[in-house]
Structure 1
Amino acid sequence: MNNAQFIVRKVAVLGAGVMGAQIAAHMVNANIETFLFELPAEADDPNAHVTKAIEKLKKHEPAPLSVKSKAAFIEAANYDQHLEQLKTCDVVIEAIAERMDWKQALYEKVAPYLGEQTIFASNTSGLSINRLAQAFPEALRHRFCGVHFFNPPRYMHLIELIPCEQSDALMLDNLESFLVTYLGKGVIRAKDTPNFIANRIGVFSLLATMHHGRESGLAFDEVDALTGALIGRPKSATFRTADVVGLDILAHVIHTMRDTLPDDDWHSYFETPDWLRGLIDEGALGQKTKRGVYQKVGKEIQVLDLAENTYRASCGEVHDELKQQLKYSKPVDRIAIMRNSQHAQGQFLWAIHRDLFHYCAVQLEHIADNARDLDLAIRWGFGWEHGPFEIWQEAGWKQVADWINTDIAAGKSMSNKPLPSWVQTISEQVHTSQGSYAPVTGTIHQRSELPVYHRQLYPDRLIGEDATYGETIFETDAVRMWHTGDKIAILSFKSKMHTIGKDVLNGILDALKEAEKNWQAMVIWQTEPPFSAGANLKQATERPKPQHVEKRVPAPPSLFEKFFKQFKKSAQATVLKAARELDMADALMARKLAEVEAMIDQFQQTSQALRYSMVPT
């Protein structure tokens, strides 16, 4: 491709199925002129198939269109009458069914109609990009690549960009910049291997979870209780996610792994379980058929019980002691808690993490350029809070590696494949402030230097990366005040879950003084969610250091003071209720809530200071 400025004004999407239509919808959301192609209908209207698909977009949930009226900007087209329109398109995206022969036949049909600079990309979820490229003349292959959107494309952040051997480097950079800038996506580069990165790792994780769930005798709803928010994954966890994706789609991805990865050391696990095949044969495909692993009867959510071969009320629970340990422990300690747990649920959690870490370490060099791309693929594609390598690193790289090796030697792991040598040779970090480890070169791989990323003020950071944003104005153990080059100051909390304690309140007051003196405004903003988990009750129960206080005769309470006295009684009751849930009620009562009252006073004063600040806050 030439070095002229790359601007996407017009796009064509080939295939008006569920994915193709939604990709077209997201293009018009970005105000890009879009053609949606499909086979001609045999009825009087050759575009009937496309017109029907466009109408369905208006009723689809979640809504693929930003507003329903945007549907009018998708132009219906068919392969018999409108192929000449492809010459005017800057990008053409193929999104037909996952059949190699169908895709290659389509490529041969449309190739003569592509413009001289048109980029052609396949939305395949796992077919070989190099094999697909063979359907194009040699002269066109440098403008071909894979561009794998995740479903639903409007909402899922991840796009995998997969080059073929002849893909032009500038073309890939231009396409990545377009996807990030205009579609708001997170793009990672994947190698041309079956299922690429996200599905390869994500589906393996699901297979490992199913395997260990069965080995541990855990029911589906029990597995979901363990593998959701408790360990930093979506609430839909494992089997609810499978229902949402579609059990037939899941089986297809497993089938692809089985057929295309014969040399994978975990190949024996790439099989569709009998219960899954049974549900598919019955037409129970998950959410889209209103029955799968789960079903809803009236207001009751029911789950499939394999032992009884019927559905029952869903009631999966996490063992209370394990739940408390994981919920209130530091992230660095959670993997150790799982491994050392004597409860079957804890051992299950350790097993699924151990085998996931093992698989990621072995496959990294084959599927990705570096560890960052693997972790971001799982975060953006599957909604995990942290990727596998991040979790491993935070738990202690060397220690966890030793535990994995111990279990491999003991025959507890799903494979006896040794960990690759790089696992032992690197330091305690696979992600560093300089970048992420790349096993093929044995070096640290820096983030992309494309101009589009220099414009991002707050890119997603990984554990171990330098997560400092902007230029620091002042910083304490509790807060950081900073700016991005304008006259607006930003205050961020550094406390766990951004809880508000005495030190944070003091930091806010100090920041206000600085803002009123030297800045035009101040924004309280956190670099990552949540904004704040509320009051730091633990800090509230700590005894303050004794201080000399001069005795004085109290003045009669004002109406304002009477109001806040009543307010504090109400606040105390709320705090005490929360404290009982945290087993802190005795500590609060022993101190007669004096420290809590002091914090409430300080919070009120800080709130008033923010409200009546001399600069906008």
Structure 2
Amino acid sequence: MSKIMQAAPNTQRAVPKIKQAAVIGAGVMGAAIAGHLANVGIRTTLLDIVPRELSDKEKAKGLTLEDRAVRNRLAQAGKDRLQKEKPSPLYHKRVADLITVGNLEDDLDRLKEADWIIEAVVENLQIKQSLFSQIEKVWTPGTVVSSNTSGISIEKMVSGCSEDFRSHFLGTHFFNPPRYMKLLEIIPTSDTKPEIVDEMKAFAESVLGKGVVLAKDTPNFIANRIGVYGLLITLQKMMEEGLGPDEVDAVTGRAMGRPKSATFRTLDLVGLDTFVHVADNVRENVDDPEEQKAFEVPEVLRKMVANGWLGTKSDQGFFKKVKGEKGKEIHALDLQTMEYRPRKKLKAPSLEMAKRAKSLPEQLKALVYAKDPAGELAWYITKKVLLYSAARIPEIADDIVSVDRAMKWGFNWELGPFEIWDAIGVEKSVARMREEGETIPLLVEELLASGAKSFYEKSPMEVKAFQIGGRFSEVEEHEKVISLAQLKEQGKVIHSNRGASLIDIGDDVACLEFHSPKNAIAGDIIQMINTAVKEVSANYRGLVIGNQGGNFCVGANLMLILMEAQDQNWPELDLMVRQFQKTMGSLRYMDKPVVAAPFAMTLGGGVEISLPCDRIQAAAETYMGLVEPGVGLIPGGGGNKEMLIRWTEGIDPKDTMALRSVVNKIFEIIGTAKVATSAMEAKEYKFIREYDGITINQDHLIYDAKQVVLALEKAGYRPPLPKKIPVVGETGYNTLRLGAYGLLQSGYISDHDYKIATKLAYVLAGGTLPEGTLVDEQYLLDIEREAFLSLAGEPKSQQRMQYMLAKNKPLRN
């Protein structure tokens, strides 16, 4: 049994207890891996080499090469960088305290304490081999050791090590940045114990929140092998057609179900030097002349690297920010002149048709089968990537599912290659490929010969994927994955309307799923919440509020609010807000436990739906904020009241200093529209309470929320009793208003900001009551609603709402 499994609990799927880790190499990836280990509570030692010369700053301080600060400089720089980078690699700056720095000469013995040792040094086989021989000298038998290499042979790295060491060694290729990128490729060698692979897969999924694919020890593994190939053939095609990177990106982004950064913006973000290195690694390590040719880097790209045009990190690559008449503009590189020019988009009917498609398969078919420049480009790129992916099985992976997941999790594609093939039609696309003289891979020939028409067979109960040998096998999912879409196909919908559905997720627990456009709250969602309260109260053990869309909820339907305000339909708008407030109250005092499962953008009304719930089980990547001031309003669905309940809990109403302090804090959080950058930071703002849960792997979120419901019910759940809430009253109101006036006078806020701030101050202070007065919830809801309606009638608030709807960013008027 391996060291990390000795303390593992007896569960259905044993997850190893890794309490301490060590990362060797404090560069961009090494430090970021250490940062993510710290994110999930693992104490981590970060080591790097000892500098051979002093920096100017060290000389000025009179330090020598023997001083610890100098010897640990590189590791310390890696740790410091984590606290400065944006977006942050850390859930919260305080997690950096879990990282201890050192160096490979003084601190190698610290590796004895680690449950997992990760190598992340320079991509050089000889250096890695030398390092692993050093590691083995202090290695505690049973400890897992891995390399984060992006393409060097895992087997060769430890070829000189003992059999026992090799049996505990494997590749763990994180994608950058490790906090945000889901993919982790695990690459075992022929010597790696199978149980080590299983343990590390379970750990990465459950503790690190990763999507794991098992890859083979081949150049660049799965995602980079296919992804780099696709980027290179796109670059080659662009040059053949005389197109610009901006024109190509108009086709290869959202239109093809890929990220907005498309091809060349992605290359700029990755770094052209890094890309060239990865491409060269494949070309130098494959035997097929045709494949070697495919991975040849065009001379223009090498010239860009030689010029130092490396992309975002050097402020220019395929794109460059320049000063224009309207401020900063983004210009694109003209590969013919090697000069930058204003951006332009490739215009084609197929792109417009793709935009109007109702589903991604329809969108892809509209694009790749179109006979216009955009369609021809999309077809060529798609064709080449599909053929290449199929031809690489079983070389790089044993199954199509691993390839599809690698591309979705590592490159953020909406569909993997074989899912794309199914979407555009295997028979139709292969027929065209044959006409164009392409060689069809054996895997595809076997599929068609079997009589099957797609790589995946889907039914309400299961999904099967085609395998080499002409058979289909079930696609395995983690036991904590609950698919709401699949449950709906199985007929588990209890109630449904246009905006939301109530779904039976098993064990007598229901899930309220939003599915309105952008999950914005309107009357249909409010109606379904009320339906859910009645249904669950009568027939279920509890309720989860969650969904599996792009974001949990971006707030109320702003267009609806604006239209009613512009029409001065105040009775209707008042009724809407009253209904929202009343519905949130029904969630708070329901006789069955309610657990919210927020994730990603959880803004405005999305926060107000979460706050009254008995518990919140949030995804680690949850960005919560009461952002209404950005659109000229204040929270109107009970958000102010709920924040007062949370922040004043346990405070003696007579302790006016403590009361003022927390109300000032709430005023700052809401007034400045603070958005937490993680669930951990959301706890700091008390959007999430200390006893609420955080799920690292978002795929497990609904499952985890359901377990919280069941635990509350089993413990004999009783709904909370209404509480009186202490307010700071007129004295506190004047203090808050005075602070806002100071900001106005200093030019930090506008007149309209000040108006919003005074309305917010009035609500949070509880009006002009005596300080320390205890009020009921309805009193606070009434003054909150009045303030909301008053601001909705302000022309400048309506301008802010219009601007947000048009530009998707706040207007400061």
Task: Give the TM-score, by structure 1 length.
Answer: 0.80
The answer as to 2:511 corresponding to 1:490 is: yes
Q: Tell me if 1:44 matches 2:66.
A: yes
For residues 412-465 of structure 1, the C-alpha deviation after alignment (integer angstroms, 9 at most, x for no partner) is x5x67677422313523323344453534544344457xxx3234459x9xxxx
Could you list the per-position Cα deviations for residues 277-308 of structure 1 after superposition, in whole angstroms to 9, with x for gaps in the alignment? 11100111111111111111231111111223
User: Which residue in the other structure is 1:388 paired with?
Assistant: 417
Is residue 121 of structure 1 aligned with residue 146 of structure 2?
yes
Deviation at residue 487 of structure 1 after TM alignment: 6.0
Q: Is the 8 A contact 1:515 1:522 kept in 2?
A: yes
Deviation at 1:219, TM superposition (A): 1.0
Q: Write the distance in 2 (CA, Å) between the matches of 1:28 and 1:190.
A: 26
Distance 1:39 1:370 in 2: 40
Structure 2 CA distance for partners of 1:165 and 1:44, relative to 1, 3 Å = same
| Residues 57 and 568 of structure 1, relative CA distance in 2, 3 Å threshold | closer
Shift in alpha-carbon separation, 1:89–1:570, aligned structure 2, 3 A? same
**Matched residues in 2 for 1:156 and 1:371: separation?**
21
CA distance in structure 2 between the partners assigned to 1:87 and 1:534 by the alignment: 50
Match of 1:79 in 2: 104
Match of 2:449 in 1: 425
Q: Please, what is the CA RMSD of the aligned residues?
A: 3.6
Contact in 1 for aligned 2:365/2:423 (Cα 8 Å) = no
Q: Which amino acid aligns with 2:448?
A: Q
| CA–CA separation in structure 1 for the residues paired with 2:380 and 2:219 | 25
Give the structure 1 partner of residue 35 of structure 2: 25
Matched, 1:248 2:273: yes
- The structure-2 alpha-carbon separation of the partners of 1:11 and 1:506, relative to structure 1 and needing over 3 Å to count, comes to closer
**1-structure distance, mates of 2:18, 2:273:** 35
The range that moved more, 494-503 or 244-253, is 494-503
Counterparts of 1:48 and 1:501 in 2: how far apart (Å)? 55
Over 3 Å counting, the alpha-carbon distance change for 1:420 and 1:429 in structure 2 is closer
Equivalent-residue separation in structure 2 for 1:134 and 1:116 (angstroms)? 17
1:38–1:79 CA contact under 8 A, matched in 2: yes
SS at match of 1:365: coil
Letter of the 1:425 counterpart? A
Letter in 2 for 1:529: G
Tell me the distance in 1 between the aligned counterparts of 2:211 and 2:120: 19
**What's the counterpart of residue 334 of structure 1?**
363
Matched, 1:163 2:160: no
**Cα drift, residue 256 of structure 1:** 1.0
- Contact between 2:427 and 2:453, CA under 8 Å: does it hold in 1? yes
Equivalence for 1:16? 26
Q: Which residue of 2 aligns with 1:201?
A: 226
The answer for the alignment partner of 1:437 in structure 2 is: 465
Counterpart of 1:84 in 2: which secondary structure?
helix
**Contact 1:51–1:76 (Cα < 8 Å) also in 2:** yes
Provide closer, same or farther for how the CA distance between residues 534 and 566 of structure 1 changes in structure 2, counting only shifts above 3 A.
closer
Say whether the 8 Å CA contact 1:458–1:469 is kept in structure 2: no
Distance (Å, rounded) in 2 between the aligned partners of 1:564 and 1:95: 52
Equivalents in 1 of 2:200, 2:185: separation in Å? 11
* Displacement after TM superposition at 1:97 (Å): 0.8
Change in CA separation of 1:291 and 1:206 when aligned onto 2, cut-off 3 Å? same
Superposition pairs for residues 334-483 of structure 1, below 5 Å? 334-407=363-436, 409=437, 420-426=444-450, 427-433=452-458, 434-437=462-465, 439-448=467-476, 453-457=478-482, 466=486, 472=492, 474=494, 480-483=501-504
Q: CA deviation at 1:106?
A: 0.9
Q: C-alpha deviations, 1:174-220, integer Å up to 9, x for none?
A: 11111122211111111111111100111111112112222333211
- Amino acid across the alignment from 2:412: G
TM-score normalised according to structure 2 size:
0.62
In structure 2, the partner of 1:581 is none
Structure 2 CA distance for aligned equivalents of residues 182 and 419 of structure 1: 35
TM-aligned CA distance change 1:387 to 1:532, over 3 Å = farther
TM-aligned CA distance change 1:502 to 1:331, over 3 Å: farther
Do the aligned partners of 1:371 and 1:431 also contact (CA within 8 Å) in 2? no
CA deviation vs aligned residue, 1:508-543 (integer Å, no higher than 9, x gap): 77656534543476555433336689999xxxxxxx
Distance 1:533 1:56, change over 3 A: closer
Distance 2:88 2:555 in 1: 33
Give the whole-Å Cα distance in 2 for the aligned partners of 1:497 and 1:507: 17
Q: Show the counterpart of 1:300.
A: 329
| Conserved? CA contact 2:467–2:473, under 8 Å | no
TM superposition shift of 1:364: 2.5
Question: Which blocks of at least 5 consecutive residues in structure 1 are unaligned?
Answer: 537-562, 573-599
| CA–CA separation in structure 2 for the residues paired with 1:13 and 1:195 | 21
| Matched letter for residue 40 of structure 1 | V
> What residue is the counterpart of 2:314 in the other structure?
289
The range that moved more, 480-489 or 103-112, is 480-489
Cα distance in 1, alignment partners of residues 346 and 579 from structure 2:
41
Distance 1:304 1:339 in 2: 26
Contact 1:438/1:444 (<8 A) preserved: yes
| Counterpart in the other structure of 2:297 | 272
In the TM superposition, residue 404 of structure 1 has moved relative to its aligned partner by: 2.4
- Identity over the aligned pairs, expressed in percent? 34
Cα deviation for residue 327 of structure 1 reads 0.9
Contact 2:466/2:473, CA 8 A, preserved across alignment: yes
1:229-264 Cα distance to aligned partner (Å, 9 max, x none)? 222211111001101100000001111111112316
CA distance in 2, matches of 1:133, 1:472: 51
Report the 3-state secondary structure (helix = DSSP H, G, I; strand = E; otherwise coil) of the residue aligned with 1:196. coil
* Equivalent pair of 2:167/2:192 in contact (CA under 8 Å): yes
Shift of the 472–167 alpha-carbon distance from structure 1 to 2, 3 Å rule, reads: same
Is 1:138 equivalent to 2:163 in the alignment? Answer: yes
Any gaps of 5 or more consecutive residues in structure 2? Answer: 9-15, 53-64, 595-608, 610-813
Does structure 1 retain, via aligned residues, the 8 Å contact 2:48–2:75?
yes
Please give the secondary structure, in 2, of the residue aligned with 1:62. Answer: coil
Structure 1 pair 524–154 and aligned structure 2 pair: CA distance change class (3 A):
closer
The 3 A distance-change label for structure 1 pair 530 and 429 is farther
Partner Cα distance (2:291, 2:183) in 1: 26
| CA-CA distance at 1:53 after TM superposition | 2.2
Alpha-carbon distance, 1:378 to partner: 0.8
The verdict on how the C-alpha distance between 1:431 and 1:506 changes in structure 2, with shifts beyond 3 A counting, is farther
